A and B are shown apart, each in its own frame.
Chain A
Amino acid sequence: MKRREFLQLSTALLASGALGAMRPAFAQTTPGMGGTIRVAMQAQPGSLDPHMTTADATAQVARNVFEQLLALNSGYQYAPMLAESFDQSDDGLTFTFHLRQGVKFHNGKTMTADDVIASLEKWITTNSKKTMFEVHTLAAPDDHTVVLTMAKKVYGVLEALADNGQFAGIMPKEIVEAADATGVTEYIGTGPFKFAEWSRDQFVRLVRNDDYQPLAGPPDGLVGDKTAHADELIYYFVADPSTRIAGIMTGEYDVADSLPIDYYEQVRGNADLDILKRSLNLVAIYNKKEGLLANVAMRKAVNAALDSEAIMLAVQSFPEFFRLDPSYMYEEQANWHSTAGANQYSQNDPELAKKYLAEAGYANEPVRILTSKDHAHLFNSSVVIQQQLAAAGMNARLDVYDWPTTLEHRGKSSDWDITVTGFPLVLAPTQLLYLSANWAGWTDDPTIAKHIAEINASTSLDEAKAIWQALQGYCWEDYLPVSKLGDRIAYAAYSRRLLGLASLEGGVFWSAGFAG
């Protein structure tokens, strides 16, 4: 295919993909085997153990090395990966997973049910969805079957096992047993790439797993045939965005991740580069435990004053890089996307805000917005919010710290009223952290708890969906645990020499390679 046709086709693909930013895009030519893919990442993962942290950098790198029982396909639905099939009992409490046979770990060991159980137990102990699994049993009736029994019916067990963030990667039992308080000390999985080397603050180097046993069928999101093409996949940690972009323009890197919006013009003007898009939401959390915003009238006042378009424009600069969407779940998640309560979204109504302030008996106390300059999108949105609240008659104040200090303050209910943050994708709304009483914001409302319990007890997706619609409506109209601001569309630039690059919550590199 000629270069011009390729450019036209990929532009068309990009344009059509602009709204469905998370739908994976495929280039049209097939890559050959060999070569080294060099990815410039912004941040070094703290750990390569996927059980230990929700950090995106960890999931990005680790998902090449480890696989799960179930994983996400291109439609964001769970599909078989290491489990070739699974059943759920009629009462919804027992899940039986039939493992694929003869799958080998990178150290040559064959995967059995014992390895799966050890890995899942470790994952359950450390992951943020663990309250779901509080009371459970895992058993192996034979070497290739794992049975998970829950004490009570909870929605989203399969989604949790398939989730991409802090994912339930399967490791050999011996490696799991040798892990310490901060995770495993060796990275052995079943994935298309093997861990080779981690040079701290420099790079992580992965090499192709030549003994990889793929699933049948074409590559499909994070399932399907994941046979790797490149000989090596190297993630470089390049903190400075100007270095990442200079590197990709001079051909030193093939992919430059997390580029700031300021560089988009440069990338757009460069015919050798293309972009991958990824949606990330932006949410303003309210402190409902202590302080001014524990009063719902104050929260309504703040929400009424917000103009989401102005906020998102300040953060993202170009309209094609954000979406105004009141839905708590992403647009791409057809099962859960909802516009319930949309009339409360982005009202931009200072007069209404003042009315609520009067109702709340507001006496010009400071409204403390906690933020950090270490993340431009959080800081910029907080600055605009402060302005909007001030225009509505509130004594809004920005408390700016570095990231670790911000995290520390965020854990204390005495220290802040509003803070903006972004969230990783969750596969079921019951997993939304800001609806939990244990997380910053301290949402503790009986109606919300009741709806979540009903979703957990539901017997069909349609039933759960209807309950969720009602719950989102209640959140926007009555309780306001948070104000969703919008969806940011982040982008990564990649060289057009890299063929077959797909994306799903980040670049998917096993299907990618260079011209043969």
Chain B
Amino acid sequence: MREYIIKRLLMLIPVLFIVSLVVFSIIHLTPGDPAAVMLGETATQAEIDALRQRLGLDQPLFGQYLNWLGGLFRFDLGYSYFMRQPVAEAIRDRIVPTTSLALLAEFFAIVTAIPLGVAAAVRRGTVTDTALMGTSLLGMSIPSFLLGLFLVLIFAVWLRWLPVAGYAPLQAGLWPHLRYLILPALALGLIQMALIARMTRSSMLEVLNTNYINAARARGLREWLVVYRHALRNAFIPILTIIGHSFGVLVAGAAVVETIFNIPGLGQLIVNSVGRRDYTVIQGGVLFITLIYLLINLGTDLLYGLIDPRVRLGRR
């Protein structure tokens, strides 16, 4: 097992290297000049060129890439002139809001999706099933920003139960921190819920038809035990895959929801940086998200082993 983990961690390196090359090339070959954006509309070309030189943007591209790569080996992601901060610090400041939001959204999603998916599977073909899957289809189709705006309209503007937008760090207290995250987490979570519920339903349906489940029922076990302890556990691998993937999506950037609710998260950081052509932040941010994605995948694979004893990782 330990060998397996080490091997997986080592495999991160070539992936990250390729991603670094790709993101660097794309962003530098895209038109748009950070110096021009920094100085504003009324700058003359001479001023822009002077700033480009000061920022090292007039160096040959491959040289700039090597500089940046060299920095990566020293865990130095570079410096952002727009934000006047090292990139690593900027990302670090934004991990907590994004992680909190992702965790809360995933929590809402799982806590609603699994019971709903199980209920739909158990009552397959009935009105309940159709209704639940219809709702899930709606959830998957609705864009997150639309859902977010509806939630703001209902819960913040009409009912005044929750704030419109903003963010309070954890230091301000757990409840203030969560209070600002509830609506955006719902906007994100309800959509993820739809996906997880569908997967739960299909996976459960497969398992509910198996011999061992019939045998359990024949033995006289209570239905809820059959469903939740035996069937769900066996059905859980594909569900876990979806959950892992959805968590990765949430961390990678609920940029639109973060913008609407004004949460200083990673998604908003990267989108804003693209708009400003803040090269170092875009590169560092994308690389960081890649790393998170890969780690989540690794975590999911390890969890398979926990849930299903038949899965033995790293053994032949």
**Same complex:** yes
Residues of A within 8 A of B (CB): 46-47, 52-55, 126, 128, 166, 181-182, 185, 199-202, 236-240, 242-243, 246-247, 249-250, 252, 374, 401-405, 407-409, 411, 421, 423-424, 433, 436, 438-439
Return chain B residues, CB-CB under 8 Å to A185. 84
Task: Indicate if B290 sits at the interface (CB-CB under 8 A).
Answer: no
Q: Which residue of B lies closest to A57 (CB)?
A: B40
Q: Is B104 an interface residue (CB 8 A)?
A: no
Stretch of B31-39, B111-119, B199-207, B215-223 on the interface side: B31-39
How far is the CB of A201 from the nearest CB of chain B, in Å? 5
Q: Can you sample 21 A-B contacts with CB below 8 Å?
A: A46-B38, A54-B41, A54-B43, A128-B47, A166-B42, A181-B51, A182-B38, A200-B83, A201-B268, A202-B262, A238-B165, A246-B152, A247-B164, A249-B157, A252-B165, A402-B32, A407-B37, A408-B31, A411-B33, A411-B36, A438-B45
A-B contact number at CB 8 A: 123
Number of interface residues of B (CB under 8 A): 50
Instruction: Find out whether the CB atom of A128 lies under 8 angstroms from the CB atom of B44.
Output: yes
User: Contact mask B47-82 → A, CB, 8 Å, 1/0?
Assistant: 110010011000000000000000000000000011
Asked whether B149 is an interface residue with its Cβ less than 8 Å from the other chain, the reply is: yes
Binds A, one of B246-254, B271-279, B307-315: B271-279
- Is B46 in contact with chain A by the CB < 8 A criterion? yes
Contact A53 B264 (CB under 8 A): no
B165 touches A53 (CB 8 A): no
Cβ contacts under 8 Å, A403 to chain B: 32, 37, 275
Q: Are A181 and B54 in contact (CB under 8 A)?
A: yes
Across the interface, B262 reaches (CB within 8 A) one of A46, A182, A243, A421, namely A243
Docked pose: A181 CA to B40 CA in angstroms: 15
CA distance A55 to B272 in the complex (A): 17
**Does B286 count as interface, using CB distance less than 8 angstroms?**
no
B residues apposed to A, CB below 8 Å: 30-34, 36-48, 51, 54-55, 81-85, 90, 93, 149, 152-153, 156-157, 160, 163-167, 259-262, 264, 268-269, 272, 275-277
What residues of chain B lie closer than 8 Å to A438, measured between beta carbons? 44-46
Among A181, A247, A421, A424, point to the contact of B55 (Cβ < 8 A): A181
Known: A181-B55, A246-B157. A407 touches B36 (CB 8 A): yes
Q: Is there an interface contact between A239 and B259, defined as CB atoms closer than 8 Å?
A: yes
Q: Which B residues are in CB contact (< 8 Å) with A374? A: 275
Contact check, B156 vs A128: say whether CB atoms are below 8 A apart.
Answer: no
Cα A237 to Cα B32 in complex, Å, equals 23
Query: Looking across the interface, which residue of chain B has its beta carbon closest to that of A413?
Result: B45
Q: What is the bound-complex CA distance between A30 and B242, given in angstroms?
A: 60
Alpha-carbon gap, A438 to B44, bound state (A): 6
- Contact for A182 among B32, B47, B84, B268, CB less than 8 A: B84
* Minimal Cβ-Cβ distance residue in A for B82: A46
Residue of B44, B83, B264 most packed against chain A (CB within 10 A): B44
Known contacts: A202-B264, A250-B157, A252-B166. The answer to whether A405 contacts B32 by CB under 8 A is yes
With beta carbons under 8 angstroms apart, the residue of B31, B42, B167 that contacts A128 is B42
A411, B45: Cβ atoms under 8 Å?
yes
From B54, B153, B264, B277, give the contact of A201 (CB < 8 A). Answer: B264
Q: Which residues on B sit within 8 Å (CB–CB) of A405?
A: 30-32
Contact of B32 among A53, A54, A407 (CB under 8 A): A407
Complex: A325 Cα to B40 Cα, angstroms: 26
Compute how far the CA of A166 lies from the CA of B51 in the bound complex, rounded to whole angstroms: 17
**Neighbouring B residues of A126 by C-beta, 8 Å:** 47
List of B residues within 8 angstroms of A237 by Cβ: 262
A243 to B268 CA separation, bound complex (whole angstroms): 15
CA distance A249 to B164 in the complex (A): 10
The residue on A at minimum CB distance from B260 is A240
Chain A residues in 8 Å Cβ range of B43: 54, 128
Residues of chain A within 8 A (CB-CB) of B156 are 246, 250
Q: A128-B44, A181-B81, A411-B33 are in contact. List 4 more A-B contacts (CB 8 A).
A: A46-B40, A202-B167, A250-B164, A374-B275
When distances are taken between beta carbons in the complex, the residues of chain A under 8 Å from B264 are: 199-202
Identity of the chain B residue whose Cβ is nearest the Cβ of A433 in the assembled complex: B42
Task: Tell me if A404 and B36 are in contact (CB < 8 A).
Answer: yes
Residue with the greatest number of chain B CB neighbours at <10 A, chosen from A199, A243, A433: A243
Residues in chain B near residue A242, CB distance under 8 A: 149, 152, 260
The distance in angstroms between the C-alpha atoms of A201 and B37, with both chains bound, is 16
- List of A residues within 8 angstroms of B157 by Cβ: 246, 249-250
